[in-house]
Amino acid sequence: MPSMDLPLPDGLPPWLAAFALEAQRETDTLLENGAEQAAAARLALLRKLLAAAAAQLDEEIDIHEAAREKGVCEETIRRAVRDGRIPDRRANPKGRHRVRRGDLNRVAESPGRPYDPITDAQGIAQLRSKL
């Protein structure tokens, strides 16, 4: 059984890509040492893992869900769509934006905690009470 390079899905998180590449190197070592059945089992499992990851990354989600997953406000996702950093996948041009989950890595990470409107409202109330 020859060594086989597994294709990594577009948008795969770096930690999962590193895991898959290391698992493939270990599988190649098994092959080199004659453990073909163990290598075949590992390869089958890696293929299933990468297929599941690809399906999850290819899922189309709305702006609200994308913002929640990314930890940014919805306008940040809309701006990324308008700027062309994330393709708009909506079927109807007048419908709501839809994006591919795997494309969210093109949006900069949130610099801090996700926006909390309750904390923001409390801060505004405290400022008003001081007036």
Please write the tens of the pLDDT for every residue from 38-60.
999 999 999 999 999 999 999 99
pLDDT reported for residue 104? 87
Question: How many helices (H) does the chain have, and how many strands (E)?
Answer: 5, 2
pLDDT reported for residue 33? 94
- Residue 35 lies inside a defined structural domain of this protein: yes
Answer yes or no: do 90 and 67 share one domain.
yes
Indicate the SS3 state at residue 99.
strand
The torsion angle over the Cα atoms of residues 21, 24, 25 and 27, rounded to 10 degrees, is 160
Q: How confident is the model at residue 114 (pLDDT cuts 50, 70, 90)?
A: low
Give the integer Cα–Cα distance in Å for 110 and 99.
18
Q: Classify residue 40 by its DSSP letter.
A: H
Mean pLDDT over the full length of the chain: 86
Answer yes or no: do 45 and 86 share one domain.
no
Answer yes or no: do 49 and 67 share one domain.
no
Give the integer Cα–Cα distance in Å for 112 and 71.
9
- Residue 131 lies inside a defined structural domain of this protein: no
Q: How confident is the model at residue 3 (pLDDT cuts 50, 70, 90)?
A: low
Answer yes or no: do 50 and 77 share one domain.
no
Answer yes or no: do 66 and 104 share one domain.
yes
Residue type, 44: A
- Residue 119 lies inside a defined structural domain of this protein: no
Q: Classify residue 106 by its DSSP letter.
A: G
- Residue 126 lies inside a defined structural domain of this protein: no
Using the 3D structure, point to which of 22, 39, 58 is the last residue of a domain: 58
- Residue 18 lies inside a defined structural domain of this protein: yes
- Residue 130 lies inside a defined structural domain of this protein: no
In the block, residue with structure tokens 């795969």:
12
Q: Is the pLDDT of residue 2 over 60?
A: no
- Residue 96 lies inside a defined structural domain of this protein: yes
- Residue 5 lies inside a defined structural domain of this protein: no
Give the integer Cα–Cα distance in Å for 87 and 106.
10
For residue 92, what are the domain limits?
60-112
Answer yes or no: do 43 and 72 share one domain.
no
pLDDT digits (tens, 9 = 90+) for 70-99: 888 899 998 899 888 898 888 787 888 899
Answer yes or no: do 76 and 88 share one domain.
yes
Give the integer Cα–Cα distance in Å for 118 and 131.
20
